[in-house]
Structure 1
Amino acid sequence: MIVNSPFVCNGCDRLDIGIGHDACRYIKFKYHAKRAQLLYEDTLKNSRTGISYSPSELADIDNLVSPLLLNGQSISTVFYNHANELPCCERTLYNLVNGCYLTARNIDLPRKVKFKTRYKHGNGRNHDIFTFDRTYADFKSFIAENPDVPICEMDTVIGTNEKGSVLLTLMLRNCHLMIALLLPNKSQASVINALNDLCDQVGIDVFKKIFGVIITDRGTEFSNPLALECDRYGEIKTKVYYCDSYCSWQKGMIEKNHEFIRYVIPKGTSFSGLTQADITLMMNHINNYPRASLNNCTPFALAEMLVDKKLLETLHYHKIMPDSVILKPSLLKK
Structure 2
Amino acid sequence: MPVLEVSKLRKSFGTVVAVEDISFSVEPGEIFTIIGPNGAGKTTTLEMIEGLLPPDSGNIRFGNLNWTKDSDQIKRDIGVQPQSSALFDLLTVEENLELFATFYPKSRPAIEVMDMISLTDQRNKYVKKLSGGQKQRLAIGLAMINDPDLIFLDEPTTGLDPQARRNIWDIILKLKELGKTTILTTHYMEEAEKLSDRVCIVDQGKVVTLDTPAALIDRLTKEREVRLSFLDGKAAAVATESVAKLQQSVVRTELDGASLKLWSTQPEETLFELFGFTKDRGYRLEQISIREMSLEDVFIAFTGKEWRD
TM-score (norm 2): 0.24
Question: Rg larger in 1 or in 2?
Answer: 1
Q: Which structure's residues are more often strand, by fraction?
A: 2
TM-score (norm 1): 0.22
The higher relative CO (CA closer than 8 Å, separation ≥ 6) is in 2
